[in-house]
Amino acid sequence: MRTILLFPAIVFVASVAFGQDFEAVQPNGQIAAKIAVSSGTMQIRMLNGQRFRYRRDRPFDTVDGRFVGYFHPTLNRVLRFPRSGNGFMMMADLDDLRPFFRRSTMVVRPARHQHLPPGPPLHPGHLPGFHPGFHHGGFVPIYTPGLLGAGIYPAPWFGYGYYTSGINLIASPPAAWHPGFGHLPGRFAPQSVIVDSRLVPGPPLEPVAIGLRNGSNSELIVTITDLRDGSGNRQVRIPAGEVVTETFNRESVAEKIDTYETYRLDGSIDTHQVAVSIAPQRRYELTVHQWRLQSIAIDRTGKSPNMIEDVNYQGKGLGRFPLPAGEQLRAGTIDVYRAAIRSENAGAVAPLIDDSSDLPSDPFSGLDLRR
């Protein structure tokens, strides 16, 4: 059993004016992001256009003062920035069941147009407390047994505590002497559980009209497969050299919303949501067959009233290919014959079976059947 008495102490820290720019550099030497640090925020602008805004969060500072803590409420993520302005960053996702800090692969440095003054350029003006607890649905840095050896450590609290192994001094303003024996409070890993997940579709985009061109000298049959709604499947006959216009629906970016519950140290539950944008999936696939005459049955006995007794057609598979998704699908004309040939997957397309009820009006036009 232990009893701890803590008293707030006044800590005088000399802060340095904020408003500094930094660069995040990849291992290959390329600059991946620009970082602007101000008194209460840190803005990261990736070179691919993404922007992230972290806010200053002192409880996430490291005990040794080497890293300054920042928190992103939407991502529920903590980023520790090196106080010196040079070196690796540390990052932890509080949505993980057991969050832990990972070292970044990128290294930060002052922007080339800026030279930092001597001394610590990123002083937070506050030192972290020695109390365990949670913050923003996640954990704050907590001292673990065996973390500290004998020595003096900065601290904004002072007092003493009684443990089974004896009395330990915890802190004294503005520093604390830890003799190196006894135990400090253990670390409690928060438990985050996903309780709900739903996909919210975006507003539908305007349908587009696309011309399907037959660039061959034979009739084509194009099967339009709707991968989302099977009732939209259909077949289109395209005579040689002609264009048939079809209308296709489009979808916009959807949003996946996950709801998490995080159990705090005091037993309370923090509920928060994380939203992720989901790009639209490909919806349509076109399968192209070349429709051609396969066989003819002719009565040469003269007993049948019809000289032509049977005609068989076959749809030879040329290939299949998908249409672009979402806004990438635009109005225009597609040469389906050339697109199918370029796909180079004719072997994966089964031939079409002859349907005599849907033959051309004059299938033997120009065909000499006399012997």
pLDDT digits (tens, 9 = 90+) for 243-286: 999 999 998 999 999 888 876 666 677 888 888 888 888 999 99
Average pLDDT estimate for 355-366: 49
Phi, psi of 342 (to 5 degrees): -65, -25
Q: Is residue 369's pLDDT more than 80?
A: no
Q: What is the pTM of this model?
A: 0.42
Burial class (CB in 10 A: 0-12, 13-18, 19+), 217: exposed
Average pLDDT over residues 310-319: 76
Q: Does residue 54 have a pLDDT over 70?
A: yes
State the average pLDDT over residues 89-101. 84
The fraction of the chain above a pLDDT of 70, given in percent, is 61
Asked if residue 173 belongs to a domain, the reply is yes
- For 52, counting Cβ atoms within 10 Å of its Cβ (0-12 exposed, 13-18 middle, 19+ buried), the class is middle
Residues 50 and 166 in one domain: yes
When mean pLDDT is compared over 255-264, 307-316, 347-356, the highest value belongs to 255-264
Is 196 inside any structural domain?
A: no
pLDDT above 90 coverage of the chain, percent:
26
> Do 105 and 229 reside in the same domain of the chain?
no
Looking at the structure, do residues 64 and 183 belong to the same domain, yes or no?
yes
- Residue predicted with more confidence, 170 or 320: 320
Residue 84: pLDDT over 70:
yes
**Pair (80, 165) in one structural domain:** yes
Distance CA 362, CA 353 (A): 19
- Residues 232 and 174 grouped into a single domain: no
Same domain, 158 and 130: yes
Q: Decide if 352 is inside a domain.
A: yes
**Rounded CA gap, 325 and 355, in Å?**
33
- Three-state secondary-structure class, residue 339: helix
Domain boundary among 134, 161, 189: 189
pLDDT at 53: 92
For residues 216 and 184, membership in a common domain is answered with no
**Cα dihedral value 364, 366, 370, 371, nearest 10:** -100
Q: What is the CA radius of gyration of the chain?
A: 35
Q: 252 Cβ partners below 8 Å, 6+ apart? A: 201, 202, 203, 204, 205, 280, 326, 327
Q: Do the domain assignments include residue 212? A: yes
Q: Are residues 352 and 241 in the same domain?
A: yes
Q: Is residue 367 part of a domain?
A: no
148 shares a domain with 28: yes
Looking at the 3D structure of the chain, how many domains does it have?
2
Evaluate whether residue 369 is within a structural domain.
no
| Tens digit of each residue's pLDDT (9 = 90 or more) over 123-160 | 333 333 333 333 333 333 333 333 334 444 443 333 33
Residue 231: count of CB within 10 angstroms of its CB: 6
Tell me: do 55 and 100 sit in the same domain.
yes
Beta strands in 165-307 (DSSP E): 166-171, 175-178, 191-200, 205-213, 220-226, 234-238, 243-250, 254-263, 269-278, 284-298
Same domain, yes or no: 216 and 348: yes
- In this prediction, residue 185 carries a pLDDT of 40
20/126 same-domain check: yes
Q: How does residue 308 score in pLDDT terms, banded at 50, 70 and 90?
A: low
Give the three-state DSSP class for 109. strand
- In the predicted structure, residue 312 carries a pLDDT above the cut 50: yes
pLDDT at 284: 94
Q: Which domain holds residue 72?
A: 3-189
Q: For residue 275, tell me if it sits in a domain.
A: no
In a domain, 248, yes or no: yes
Pair 140, 92: CB distance under 8 Å: no
Report the pLDDT value the prediction gives residue 302, as an integer from 0 to 100.
65
* Cβ atoms of 161 and 147 closer than 8 Å: no
